Amino acid sequence: MSPPDDRSAEGGGDLNRPGQTKGPVMEGYNFAYLDEATKRMLRRTILKAVAIPGHQIPFGAREMPLPYGWGTGGIQVTAAILGPSDTLKVIDQGADDTTNAVSIRRFFTRVAGVATTERTAEATIIQTRHRIPEQALREDQVIVYQVPQPEPLSRLEPRRAETKRLHSLADYGLMHVRLYEDIARYGHIAKAYDYPVMVNGRYLMAPSPIPAFDNPKMDRMPALQLFGAGREKRIYAVPPYTEVRSLDFEDHPFRPIRAPHACALCGSRESYLDEVITDDRGGRLFVCSDTDYCSGRVALREAAE
Amino acid sequence: MTRPMLEARGLTLHFGAIPALVDVTIDVAEGEVVAIVGESGSGKTTLLRVLSGLMPPDAGTVRWLGEDVHAMGEAARRRLLRTDWGFVHQNPRDGLRLNVSAGGNVGERLMAIGARHYGNIRGEALSWLAKVEIDATRIDDLPRTFSGGMQQRLQIARTLVTHPKLVFMDEPTGGLDVSVQARLLDLIRSLSRELGLSVLIVTHDIAAARLLADRILVMRRGRVVEQGLTDRVLDDPQHPYTQLLVSSVLAA
């Protein structure tokens, strides 16, 4: 990936926000931790995944220096596509400053010496756990999702050989049975995250546990979307401008769910909100889950005052 | 007579040294109910599995409306199995999803062929539950809370909802008590007459065969030893084995 044009203007200034940082690179590691042969294998897998949108491609996942469930799949995909001139952003449930995001960002700073950022607009590669940034992504960006369970049918059909056959025959009635059951029981489709989508009208895909709120952002997104599942050893992809449709019924259309509040910090009524419990007497606060989006809006407001 | 819908010619299948099917030829015409009877191990269920494309034969062909069932791709065969055909298993647990509500079970085949309107699917499920005499209030209950007879009726509703032309039934009354059997047989008979269904039913119950079937095939050790109109075969059995079978039916 090449850096965006506006990046060269950055570098110094703006002390209010944590901009790009470069740390010392650790000796003795190949660039971006993985050896070149592994990265080639990963890139071949990624190319295949891009060629068949939404189809899960198996790959030989390596042991990574973090436990399964912490983003071993995403980190390998990122390592395979990372170049020295890239700027990396890592988010965990929208936040740049939580453990998972901080440790993965520091990992790549140490083993690849790449620039990192917390600003969505400045990043060329965004590795994410369970969110898509609020700010629309561009063609020159890549978003890498960490995926715990790549098989959307796993809860419905435990046999891998059988789900593979269902995918090859595009036999997805089973998933609709699940949605039917939700409506029959709860009156609406109760799946709020990892909401199943059809990619390019062919493959049923698990969008990783992003909130259903983020599903519409995947549809015809200009950025390349890559999905890595380390424990399950699968990579899949959605190429830029590909149709991604959330499953639904004609009389129960898909609707993104959002807490009906404004962000307590920036006042946004459009962004996805986290509920924060503030005390043990029922006090609660709703704040943007995307910290970069929220702080950007707060900074704008302060500048205007 | 019109051309039969299902034509099987010279089916042969061996499990190792054991002959499961030996040169079996069978036709099923539109709206016809054909029973396959015989002792256990005579190859009845194997024949059903071969005819429905679930198992390939060593030799012989099965044609559905002129098309070779075993030569078509798996996708086409699966489509056939959930549109033109239906399969009612002996054990309803094999044919139902036990962790999905009754309505979902009936709706699954509709959704598999592309129905995407919740209200219509539910309406269809309700009307089918009524046809198989399951109370409408049970629509959201799980099949595991149903009695054996209800489960079997639910399986029939689930199979018939897509209006198949041919239904394969593998001992649908096995394991049910006599009064439930009678009601189920009555239901199958009225539904098949009403909808003009062709049914290929495997049973070891001669009385059930007499009640339901237009034609009967008697199998023994993988061979069809006798076939003909039900009344003719049962009232005037020619083959010694058929004579034994008919004479061994207990009169109540």
Give residue-wise pLDDT tens across range A22-31: 567 888 899 9
What pLDDT sits at residue B251?
58
State the Cα–Cα distance between residues A188 and B101, nearest whole angstrom. 16
From the list A169, A183, A185, the residue facing B118 with the nearest CB is: A183
Residue type (1 letter), A88: L
Residue A225 has pLDDT above 70, yes or no: yes
A201 is catalytic: no
Torsion of CA B156, B131, B32, B91, to 10 degrees: 20
Q: What is the pTM of this model?
A: 0.84
10-residue mean pLDDT profile of chain B (252 residues): values are 84 91 92 89 89 91 91 88 90 89 92 90 93 91 91 92 92 81 86 89 86 90 90 89 82 53
- ipTM of the complex model: 0.84
Q: Which burial class, exposed, middle or buried, applies to B143 when counting CB atoms under 10 A from its CB (0-12, 13-18, 19+)?
A: buried
Q: Which residues contact A274 (CB under 8 A, 6 or more apart)?
A: A93, A94, A286, A287, A288, A289
Q: Which residues of A touch B122 (CB under 8 A)?
A: 184
**Of the listed A73, A94, A228, A266, which one is catalytic?**
A266
Interface of A with B in 232-271 (CB under 8 A): 248-252
Domain map (residue ranges) of chain A: 1-257, 258-305
**Of the listed A54, A71, A73, A228, which one is catalytic?**
A54
Most distant CA atoms of chain A, gap in Å: 61
Nearest chain A residue to B121 by CA distance is A180
Sign of CA dihedral A139, A144, A145, A150: positive
Tokens linked to A15: 């002390």
Give residue-wise pLDDT tens across range A249-290: 999 999 998 999 999 999 999 999 999 999 999 999 999 999
What pLDDT sits at residue A18?
45
**Are the Cβ atoms of B118 and A169 closer than 8 angstroms?**
no
What pLDDT sits at residue B1?
53
From the list B74, B116, B140, the residue facing A249 with the nearest CB is: B116
State the Cα–Cα distance between residues B63 and B230, nearest whole angstrom. 24
Contact predicate B197/B167, CB 8 Å = yes
Residue A7 has pLDDT above 60, yes or no: no
In A9-129, beta strands by DSSP E: 57-58, 87-92, 115-116, 125-129
Going by pLDDT thresholds of 50, 70 and 90, the confidence category of residue A37 is very high
From the list B100, B113, B139, the residue facing A177 with the nearest CB is: B100
State the Cα–Cα distance between residues B222 and A6, nearest whole angstrom. 79
Q: Which residues of A touch B97 (CB under 8 A)?
A: 177
Tokens linked to A207: 């969008």
Contact of B123 with chain A, judged by CB distance below 8 Å, is answered with no
What pLDDT sits at residue A11?
39
Domain range A1-257, CATH architecture: 3-Layer(aba) Sandwich (3.40)
Give residue-wise pLDDT tens across range B180-205: 888 888 888 888 888 889 999 998 88
CA angle A35, A38, A40 (to 5 degrees): 110
Residue whose token pair is 């010496």: A113
Nearest chain B residue to A167 by CA distance is B75
